[in-house]
Amino acid sequence: MLELKDIKKYYHVGDTTTKALDGVSVSFRRQEFVAILGASGSGKTTMLNVIGGLDNYDSGDMIIDGKSTKTFKESDWDAYRNNSIGFVFQSYNLISHLGIIDNVELGMTLSGVAKEEKRQKAEEALTRVGLADHMHKKPNQLSGGQMQRVAIARALANDPDILLCDEPTGALDTETSVQIMNLIQELSQEKLVIMVTHNPNLANQYADRIIEFSDGRILNDSHPHKESEKSDQFILKRTKMRFVTALKLSFNNLKTKKGRTFLTAFASSIGIISIGIVLSLSSGFQAQIDRTQTETMAKFPITISQVATDATANSDRALGSEKGTFPKSQTVTAKISDQDRAQHTNKIDQNYIDYIENIDPKLSNNIGYTRLVGMNLLGNVGGEVKPVTFSAAASSEDSGAAMSSAVSSMTGVGVSTFPTQLDNKSGENFLQDNYRLLDGSYPKNATDVVLIVDANNNTNINSLKNLGFDVKDGEKIDFSQIVGTSFKLIHNNDYYTELPTGNFIPNNDYQAMYDNANDDTLTISGILRVKSDSTMNLLAPGIAYSDQLTSQIVEENQNSAIVEAQKNSDTSVMTNQALTSEQKDAVLAQLGGSSIPSSIMIYPNNFKNKEEILTYLDNYNDGKKKADKILYTDLAGTMTELTGGLMDAITYVLVAFAGISLVTSMIMIGIITYTSVIERTKEIGVLKALGARKKDITRVFDAETCILGVGSGILGVLIAWGATFPINILLYNLTDLKDVAQLNPVHAIILIVVSTVLTMLGGHIPAKMAAKKDAAIALRAE
Ligand code: ADP
Ligand code: MG
């Protein structure tokens, strides 16, 4: 069934050539026990390896079942070894990290035999060699003889046609040798057994046929055979190792060196740890920024004032800031500065107000309007009724005079209005969100006004003076003196008297006006202080009232006599001064004759909604002429864009640095895999002897790096996650920020995948090297 024709195999080392096989021609019967005898170095092992397809011959031909092997491809040899050959070595060559049954099953595992069948065949083989009671042990729990029995069982399990034994008793004592020889002899009743030995006694006692070998040639053949010409009857079943099998092999191998595996995984996880920490910090900071944006920045309103700056214009350059050319000309050029050029007048009209009113309350339920409406206010100052004002502007000493007071009350300088709640269901309240109540109560009605103080409880001295409080700079006033103070708001018709000339003058019987039942009573309901510095600019220190109050005043006064008269006159009805149309609009607004606000403040409910509101506002300008466009100011937006970009930049830099350690880990894994390849050389040989393909060997080591990669990824992520706790405690103590470091689960998964892919890449080259290893050399390795 097997015929060697003039097989030659030479080894060239340096200048010397060793003729390991020097023209061997011999044929074997389908069933016989052949012993090959010869001195050490005569080429016995080489011949066995050639017959077994572990080593390639240089010239000649080997014919198996009528098929020449000259044209055999690598995969044919793999399949041949797996299907037709069983190897038994002097040094057993069991894979020590696999159990006995797994060792025996390995060949069948490679050829994809089903689990039950595999187990059954393995148990049969082990029973056959007399190891039924030791099946569940590990190789290192057996004696030498028992290990050789396992090796024989492994060779038998896949039911090969040829059993090749290379000095199977060479490492055993006489008694055990006899047992093994009996077993082999028994097997030779059904198979072709070729056994190499240098012990002539054993050969003579057991073998049917003895071939004597010397210097790569056959000296003598005791029972030659002539193979008859046969047609090709050779059938092969291809081998293929599944990745799961490779994983199992590698996992078992790694289990035997737990300490080293853990250290390797730990060392290579350092890159993952650093990236994990950087990512969790940056996404934590980003989340913190986002939260601040939503909570605080969104509290900054989008402002639409009568005068805005066109952000699209180049407004940086003031006159004189340009680079000089120092011309010699005798002329002066008149020029508008870029700043002025960028100034844009918003024509806020009822149309636009309606557009604003249509903003979905889900996006913003706080819209504030500032109207330049004057207030006819009277206060009881120390028992005497006097005109007072909410203005924070400094007034001259004779502020008691009716006229000047009336005028200054019109200017409304430094008075803040806060938005009225449109939708109380949302639970959002501008004042309660941003201001802490120090005394009294939050305003309940339009006629409730509040005193705003800054974070140091300071307020504008003019506001207090203008209300009739007699205070000096730095003087402290009890809350109780302020809260509950009330004023009378006089209607235009009660406040102004029309003279026969058609002019209007304020009345001077303050007490009578004060007692008029028509009056509204305004009360300082409470003292409010900013909650944090971020809301500082929203309401200026001093008196603040709701925009509801201003619209109420407009409602009450827009049809008053003075307003009607002023509407029909191009001169001031009070001073007879000529008015331009803009000046007339301003005077009318101050008298409460116009409901068009001077500025609009839109407070978005949250940061995301703000974007939608801005889009809504932009839509208004679509297709409008430049002069008709309404521009808004979004202070919070400019700030957040800045911080967002900065955070990203910092993250990239840190991740890049951390990435370097990842590459280091990758190189390290490569080295570790390389060491593992060296260590497992024998195993590679055994796997090949059992029919493993190059791919399968690569797979075994890829599986090992895969396990290491996943392991180090998970370890790295766990450590990074664990590190976020002390980091958060530290950051909390340093900055008062809570739970900054947060490892995003998506990042964690990505990191594990990255770790796996990188380590597999790093280990793949050594894995390829392992696959290329010469099986014959691998098996000779010690
Ligand atoms: P035996 O098994 O009879 O002791 P071998 O078949 O192992 O002999 O070796 C036959 C000859 O080939 C020896 O001289 C050995 O040194 C040489 N040889 C075997 N393998 C190699 C190799 N990989 N490189 C060089 N020489 C080798
Ligand atoms: Mg040998």
The pLDDT tens digits of the residues spanning 299-312 come to 678 888 888 877 66
pLDDT at residue 316, as a whole number? 58
* Ligand 1 centroid – CA 7 distance (Å): 15
* Ligand 1 centroid – CA 52 distance (Å): 16
Atom of ligand 1 nearest to the CA of 47: 6
CA gyration radius, the chain: 49
Q: What is the pLDDT of residues 554-579, one digit of tens each?
A: 889 988 999 999 999 889 898 888 88
* Ligand 2 centroid – CA 164 distance (Å): 12
Counting ligands in written order, the one closest to the CA of 170 is 2
The 192-197 sheet, strands edge to edge: 85-88, 162-166, 192-197, 32-38, 209-214, 217-221
Q: Bridge-partner residues for 86, per DSSP?
A: 163
Is 29's pLDDT higher than 70?
yes
Is 422's pLDDT higher than 70?
no
Report d(CA 604, CA 601) in Å as an integer: 10
Report d(CA 676, CA 249) in Å as an integer: 13
Report d(CA 736, CA 385) in Å as an integer: 51
**Nearest residue (CA) to ligand 1, atom 22:** 11
Q: Bridge-partner residues for 418, per DSSP?
A: 546
pLDDT at residue 649, as a whole number? 79
Listing DSSP states for 33-47 in one string gives EEEEEE-TTSSHHHH
pLDDT at residue 132, as a whole number? 92
Instruction: Check if the beta carbon of residue 34 is closer than 8 Å to that of residue 207.
Output: yes
Which of 249-258, 533-542, 754-763 comes out lowest in average pLDDT? 533-542
Pocket test for ligand 1, best of 45, 198, 681 (most atoms within 8 A of CB): 45
For residue 242, give every residue at least 6 positions away whose Cβ sits within 8 Å of its Cβ, in sequence order, or none.
112
Counting ligands in written order, the one closest to the CA of 21 is 1
pLDDT at residue 399, as a whole number? 39
Listing DSSP states for 671-722 in one string gives HHHHHHHHHTHHHHHHHHHTT--HHHHHHHHHHHHHHHHHHHHHHHHHHHHH
Instruction: Check if the beta carbon of residue 95 is closer than 8 Å to that of residue 259.
Output: no
**Please, is 131 exposed, middle or buried when counting C-beta atoms within 10 Å of its C-beta (0-12, 13-18, 19+)?**
buried
Structure tokens at 632: 């808004």
Mean pLDDT of the chain: 85
Instruction: Check if the beta carbon of residue 418 is closer than 8 Å to that of residue 442.
Output: no
Is 481's pLDDT higher than 80?
yes
Atom of ligand 1 nearest to the CA of 166: 2
Cα of 120 vs its chain's centroid, Å: 49
For residue 592, give every residue at least 6 positions away whose Cβ sits within 8 Å of its Cβ, in sequence order, or none.
373, 374, 492, 553, 554, 556, 557, 558, 560, 563
Angle at 620 between CA 615 and CA 624, to 5 degrees: 130
Report d(CA 53, CA 81) in Å as an integer: 6
Atom of ligand 1 nearest to the CA of 42: 3
For residue 402, give every residue at least 6 positions away whose Cβ sits within 8 Å of its Cβ, in sequence order, or none.
387, 506, 508
- Backbone angles phi and psi of 2, in degrees to 5: -130, 130
Distances, alpha carbon 93 to alpha carbons 137, 196, 424, in Å: 16, 16, 83
Q: What is the pLDDT of residues 342-395, one digit of tens each?
A: 788 888 888 898 899 888 888 887 787 877 788 899 999 888 998 998 887 776
Higher pLDDT, residue 156 or 333: 156
Q: Name the amino acid, one letter, at 76.
A: D
Distances, alpha carbon 59 to alpha carbons 25, 452, 467, in Å: 12, 104, 118
Report d(CA 765, CA 151) in Å as an integer: 31
Is 412's pLDDT higher than 50?
no
Do strands 192-197 and 162-166 pair parallel, antiparallel, or not at all (unpaired)? parallel
Q: What is the pLDDT of residues 726-773, one digit of tens each?
A: 999 998 888 877 888 888 899 999 999 998 998 888 889 888 988 888
Is 203's pLDDT higher than 70?
yes
Is 210's pLDDT higher than 90?
yes
Structure tokens at 584: 């007339």
Mean pLDDT of 268-273: 88
Q: Bridge-partner residues for 72, per DSSP?
A: none
CB of 49 within 6 A of ligand 1: the answer is no
Atom of ligand 1 nearest to the CA of 196: 2
- Which among 201, 197, 192 is positioned nearest to 211, based on CA atoms? 197
CB of 44 within 6 A of ligand 1: the answer is yes
Mean pLDDT of 287-294: 70
Q: What is the pLDDT of residues 597-632, one digit of tens each?
A: 888 888 887 777 888 899 999 999 998 888 888 999
**Nearest residue (CA) to ligand 1, atom 5:** 43
Model confidence at 451, pLDDT cuts 50, 70, 90, reads: very high
Higher pLDDT, residue 645 or 622: 622
Report d(CA 131, CA 138) in Å as an integer: 12
- Backbone angles phi and psi of 248, in degrees to 5: -65, -45
Query: Which structural domains are found in the chain, ordered by start?
Result: 2-239 (3.40.50.300), 254-295+641-779 (no CATH), 364-604 (no CATH)
Q: Name the amino acid, one letter, at 23.
A: G
Instruction: Check if the beta carbon of residue 155 is closer than 8 Å to that of residue 193.
Output: no
Atom of ligand 1 nearest to the CA of 213: 3
pLDDT at residue 536, as a whole number? 47
**Nearest residue (CA) to ligand 1, atom 23:** 777
Q: Bridge-partner residues for 450, per DSSP?
A: 526, 544
**Nearest residue (CA) to ligand 1, atom 7:** 45
Is 179's pLDDT higher than 60?
yes
Instruction: Check if the beta carbon of residue 275 is closer than 8 Å to that of residue 658.
Output: yes
Report d(CA 563, CA 592) in Å as an integer: 8
Report d(CA 95, CA 89) in Å as an integer: 13
CB of 51 within 6 A of ligand 1: the answer is no
Higher pLDDT, residue 676 or 139: 139
Report d(CA 630, CA 255) in Å as an integer: 72
pLDDT at residue 311, as a whole number? 66
Counting ligands in written order, the one closest to the CA of 24 is 1
Q: Which of 118-132, 232-246, 676-690 has the highest mean pLDDT?
A: 118-132
**Nearest residue (CA) to ligand 1, atom 24:** 11
The most distant pair of C-alpha atoms in the chain lies apart, rounded to whole Å, by 155
CB of 90 within 6 A of ligand 1: the answer is no
Mean pLDDT of 217-245: 82
CB of 43 within 6 A of ligand 1: the answer is yes
The helix/strand/coil state of 486 is: strand
**Please, is 367 exposed, middle or buried when counting C-beta atoms within 10 Å of its C-beta (0-12, 13-18, 19+)?**
buried
Is 645's pLDDT higher than 80?
no
pLDDT at residue 538, as a whole number? 67
Q: Helices then strands (H, E): number in the chain?
A: 26, 25
pLDDT at residue 410, as a whole number? 41
Higher pLDDT, residue 754 or 596: 754
Report d(CA 695, CA 74) in Å as an integer: 11
Q: What is the pLDDT of residues 57-82, one digit of tens each?
A: 999 999 998 889 999 999 899 999 99
Mean pLDDT of 48-64: 94
Report d(CA 58, CA 8) in Å as an integer: 6
Q: Name the amino acid, one letter, at 373.
A: V
Report d(CA 759, CA 715) in Å as an integer: 14
Pocket test for ligand 1, best of 9, 11, 219, 780 (most atoms within 8 A of CB): 11
pLDDT at residue 397, as a whole number? 47
Model confidence at 298, pLDDT cuts 50, 70, 90, reads: low
Report d(CA 156, CA 151) in Å as an integer: 9
pLDDT at residue 402, as a whole number? 37
Mean pLDDT of 324-331: 86
